[in-house]
Structure 1
Amino acid sequence: MMWLAYGGVFAAFLATHSIPTRPTVRARLVAAFGHAGFGLGYSLLSTAMLLILIRAAAWPDPIYLWPTTLWAMEATKIGMALVCMWFAVALGHANPFSFGGSRRKSFDPERPGLVRLTRHPMLLGLASWAGLHLLPNGDLAHVLLFGALGGFALLGMRLIDRKRRREMGPEVWAETLRRTRAAPPFAGLTLADLGRAALGLVAYMALLHLHEYFAGVALV
């Protein structure tokens, strides 16, 4: 019975996250609440559904595919510190190729920052978050959860590539990408990014202490 409840929450999660891909539904919501209202409301809804889904993964009786080990838990903690710093730096860089990043800055392909390493820093961070959480969570419900979320993040890279290429135009997209890849590996990274990374580390410490409350598992 709890598997059915978990499946229902998973279905609701997928349904709510499909809203941006349904032009008619999105248009009606934007018309009713405005772009800012829709963005804020959708962000709150998607975050709430993710937290509910994470808690729901603990409902079914566990079916272990691999055991939880101390090394896996420690590796996840270390990896998540890096992921949080990665997210913080990525949010400070303009990115014409994907979602996330600063909207107050214009993109300079000669100084692309993290975009030099990947067109999709935020999605790569999400995929890394999911992959790291698979290490200590070998029960079937959590494998389905984090496996699906990681897969969605990787699939999203291809879908957003198609969308951005269409929006920018194939020639502009290809030329911008060529110039971005031709930049030195760390071009565009500044001292301000060190500050952002430090803030990411502070956010990681807060999440570490709050993990018990939103995920149901104490880490400290």
Structure 2
Amino acid sequence: MLILILGLVLFLGIHSVRIFAPGFRDVQLVTRGENTWKILYTVIALIGLALIVWGYSIARLDPVVFWVAPAWMSHLTALLMLFAIIFLVVSQFPAGRIKAAVKHPMLLSVKIWAPAHLLVNGDLASILLFGSFLAWAVLDRISIKKRVRAGLAVDPAPGPVKWDIAAVLAGVVVYVAFVLYLHQFLFGVAPFPNL
């Protein structure tokens, strides 16, 4: 469990510098330069991600279980994940109406993904993993709202609907790939074992 916690601290910690220590980030950009800061940021994030994956896989071998979800809950999770993946894909496309409306679709994606997985994963490692990401996404969204109000950030402006259509279609394709193959391949768990 310590490996998972260390990974979460590193990964979410480096992603939280702008939330909790914007002055530190600004100093790093000035003293180290933007490229060096980005490399450092990326290395720490990748180490954290690797530790999360390793620590979670170890914790799953001997889980501390608080609840077992009923079988039907996986269908609700699957429905929520359709929206989570679509919003994640929307975040990678140029702004259309959806990105402008939700403002930060990647954070919204995390705020759907985490509770959706908590519905069907009642073990301690899952609570730590998904709960930490949920808390981070909420705090980051609050931080962004404060930066926008202070004039330090700008919400995306609406763009053409063609980007919404392309993002939704791509999101559905990614979702189907995850349901049929990628979730099992990447995480060792089939969302619907009988498919």
- Same structural fold, with TM-score higher than 0.5 when normalized by the shorter chain: yes
Deviation at 1:23, TM superposition (A): 4.0
Mapped partners of 2:133, 2:35: distance in 1: 26
**Which residue matches 1:155?**
139
**Which residue matches 2:130?**
146
1:12 aligns with 2:14: no
For residues 115-134 of structure 1, the aligned pairs below 5 Å read: 115=99, 117-134=101-118
Mapped partners of 2:16, 2:34: distance in 1: 17
- Runs of 4 or more, structure 1, over 6 Å off, are none
Alignment partner of 1:210 out of 162, 166, 182:
182
CA contact (8 A) 2:85 2:175 kept: yes
Structure 1 residues 189, 86: CA separation in 2 closer, same or farther (over 3 Å shift)? Answer: farther
Q: How many pairs were matched up?
A: 187
**Which residue matches 1:86?**
87
**Which residue matches 1:59?**
58
TM-score, structure 2 normalization: 0.73
**Which residue matches 1:50?**
49
Mapped partners of 1:14, 1:193: distance in 2: 29
Structure 1 segments unaligned to the other structure (5+ residues): 95-111, 181-186
Computing the radius of gyration over CA atoms, which structure comes out larger, 1 or 2? 1
Q: Secondary structure at the match of 2:120?
A: coil
Q: Secondary structure at the match of 2:58?
A: coil
**Which residue matches 1:194?**
165
**Which residue matches 1:107?**
none
Mapped partners of 1:194, 1:206: distance in 2: 18
Mapped partners of 2:39, 2:167: distance in 1: 23
Structure 2 segments unaligned to the other structure (5+ residues): none
CA contact (8 A) 1:55 1:216 kept: no
Mapped partners of 2:82, 2:30: distance in 1: 36
Mapped partners of 2:70, 2:94: distance in 1: 37
Structure 1 residues 86, 25: CA separation in 2 closer, same or farther (over 3 Å shift)? Answer: closer
User: What percentage of residue pairs aligned between the two structures are identical?
Assistant: 28
Mapped partners of 1:140, 1:41: distance in 2: 31
